[in-house]
Amino acid sequence: MATITVDGKEIYAKDGSVLIEELLANDINIPHFCYHPALGKDGNCRMCMVEIEGKKRPQIACDTPVSDGMIIRTKGENINRVKRQILELELINHPIDCPICDQAGECSLQNYYMDVGLYDSRLDTPKNKKRKHTDLGANVMLDQDRCVLCTRCVRFTKNITKTHELGVVVRNDHSYISTFPGTKLSNPYAMNVIDLCPVGALTSKDFRFKQRVWFLKPEVAICDGCSRGCSINVDHNREKYKDDIVYRYRPKYNKEVNGYFICDYGRLSYKKENDNRLKNAYIRGMESEFEYAILKLERLLKRYNSKTLLLISPNLSLEEIYRLKKLAQKIDAQINGFDENFDENFGDDFLRKSDKTPNRKSIELLNIKNTKEDLQEQIKNKEFVLFIGREDMQTVENLDFDGSIGVMTYKDFKEKNKPDIVVPIVSHTGRAGTFINCDGFVQFSSCEIKRDMQSVKILDFLEIILNDGVTECEKVWSSGLNKEEFLNSISLSMIKSKSIKIEIK
């Protein structure tokens, strides 16, 4: 370990490590454009300049190794003047169109300018204009005149996806980012360049001009697009006289699971939270009052009891699956988690997995049967099948089941006139819960967006039947879930702060 002094304060750092990493790790604000933890150093923006005692001139922190005894100044008249001059250079050809830029409010260029920028332009020559709103493909739009040429996007396609679609074209102040001739930005992770861009040069066609970022409220959740279970931020907003709307998913850094990135499929899956939602309950194909449908479903479960099969979705949380198992035990019903939502063409060797459900591991670890053969055996002599978190009725129709069917889902589906009863439930971003991913990492999704539409949380519905007052995740854990052997003394408070890996036999 090395001891270094930064702005008069001593800190401990790893000897030989990169200076900017140690500064950021100690919450010391150091401006930077080109450096990114997942991409490493590039050294072209020069914004991370610091003064180091004994050096003749300022040094870039992204390419300076730490050594014991270093005395560093990140602020002061001299170093601020250097940063101001670099910013002035970056802004010579910038359009200064912040009022119409989607990045406004989360733009590094704005933030650094407010810290050390010049407030009066000294430029009296015409700006070098570049192309605006260039469609790069893959839902990515480029405004070349906003770009600071940090090359994060270029390095992402070169080093991370290894698809090499982007490059820097032309020289000097005419340089700009572009795709190579005859190609489009086209890979399953392309939209990550939007998050990587520190300014407003790369923006999302999907989110463009939809909402100002300072109105958005972020919630932490788990992506339910596949069994990787990437950590995400769910940005949503409720405007006056309107229901709450989810506007975008963004990757949330999780060292153990997805790092800094998510795939485009998962990113755009937020749309299902807003569109094609089941808004009414149905009994025998006719719209029903919501409260009456809940009571009707309760009566059906009590009526059929041991003649019931609960067919659950691997998209449900660990808490919901655990409680559904308790319900099956109470009414002597069967429970099965068989689901064929696999796509061998979807998975890759980076993040995406062929299993397109986020919580199949929980079903397996709770010893719930989940094969087609189990389902064929369990459905024999059953008179009522309740689909929970799913609406794929053909699964039992293909097994020649001709009894009563109930469906609890958040999706509006064409055949809702077929089941005896259909009850809308709260969608993924409205229910907090625990998920166990393909590698055995236990994670907690705390997102609970409240909507105006009539729907019931699964835990609330189960409490009506079990009548034990357990409606929250904390109570589910204390009621017995925390004693499950596979959790190995893990507590809910532990996974709320970080992902924890369990041993899977």
Quote the tokens at residue 98: 């912040």
Could you give the strand order of the β-sheet that contains 286-288, starting from the edge strand earlier in sequence? 286-288, 281-283, 421-424, 404-409, 384-388, 308-312, 334-336
Domain 213-273, classified CATH 2.20.25, yes or no? yes
- From the list 439, 446, 448, 429, the residue with the least C-alpha distance to 497 is 446
Coil/strand/helix, residue 294? helix
Q: What is the pLDDT of residue 126?
A: 85
- The verdict on pTM exceeding 0.85 is yes
Query: CA 357: distance to chain centroid?
Result: 15
d(C-alpha 442, C-alpha 433), whole Å = 11
Query: CA 3: distance to chain centroid?
Result: 37
d(C-alpha 60, C-alpha 225), whole Å = 40
- From the list 251, 139, 247, the residue with the least C-alpha distance to 195 is 251
- From the list 55, 130, 59, 46, the residue with the least C-alpha distance to 89 is 46
d(C-alpha 495, C-alpha 444), whole Å = 6
d(C-alpha 44, C-alpha 428), whole Å = 42
Sequence spans of domains, the chain? 2-75, 123-204, 213-273, 281-501
Strand partners, 11: 4
The answer to whether 207 and 253 are in contact (CB under 8 A) is no
Quote the tokens at residue 14: 């790893």
Quote the tokens at residue 400: 């020649």
pLDDT tens by residue, the chain, 505 residues: 899 999 999 999 999 999 999 999 999 999 999 999 999 889 999 999 999 999 989 999 999 999 999 999 999 889 999 999 999 888 888 998 999 999 999 999 999 988 887 767 787 888 888 999 999 999 999 999 999 999 999 999 999 999 999 999 998 888 999 999 889 999 999 999 999 999 999 999 999 999 999 999 999 999 999 999 999 999 999 999 999 999 999 999 999 999 999 999 999 999 999 999 999 999 999 999 999 999 999 999 999 999 999 999 999 999 999 999 999 999 999 999 999 999 999 999 999 999 999 999 999 999 999 999 999 999 999 999 999 999 999 999 999 899 999 999 999 999 999 999 999 999 999 999 999 999 999 999 999 999 999 999 999 999 999 999 999 999 999 999 999 999 988 999 999 999 999 987 7
d(C-alpha 87, C-alpha 98), whole Å = 16
Q: What is the CATH topology of the domain spanning 2-75? A: Ubiquitin-like (UB roll) (3.10.20)
326: alpha, beta or left? (left if phi > 0; alpha if psi -120 to 50): alpha
Q: Which amino acid is at 91?
A: L
| CA distances (Å), origin 160, targets 188, 189, 192, 465, 494 | 12, 9, 11, 50, 31
d(C-alpha 470, C-alpha 219), whole Å = 24
Q: Can you list the positions of beta strands (E) in 371-487? A: 384-388, 404-409, 421-424, 433-436, 441-445
Task: Give the DSSP per-residue string, 269-292.
Answer: GGGGGTSSB--SEEETTEEE-HHH
Q: What is the pLDDT of residue 313?
A: 98
Q: Which residues contact 190 (CB under 8 A, 6 or more apart)?
A: 137, 138, 139, 140, 157, 161, 165, 264
d(C-alpha 237, C-alpha 429), whole Å = 13
Could you give the strand order of the β-sheet that contains 231-238, starting from the edge strand earlier in sequence? 217-222, 231-238, 244-251
d(C-alpha 245, C-alpha 373), whole Å = 41
Q: Which CATH class is domain 281-501?
A: alpha beta
Per DSSP bridges, beta strands 202-204 and 217-222 are unpaired
Query: CA 20: distance to chain centroid?
Result: 27
Q: What is the pLDDT of residue 451?
A: 94
Give rounded-to-5 percent helix, strand, coil for the chain: 30, 20, 50
DSSP alpha helix (H) spans, 222-278 = 264-268
Q: What is the pLDDT of residue 125?
A: 81
Q: What is the pLDDT of residue 105?
A: 94
**Exposed e or buried b per residue across 170-182, where buried means at least 16 C-beta atoms within 10 angstroms of its C-beta:** eeeeeebbbbeee
Q: What is the pLDDT of residue 345?
A: 96
Q: What is the CATH topology of the domain spanning 123-204? A: Alpha-Beta Plaits (3.30.70)
Q: What is the pLDDT of residue 41?
A: 86
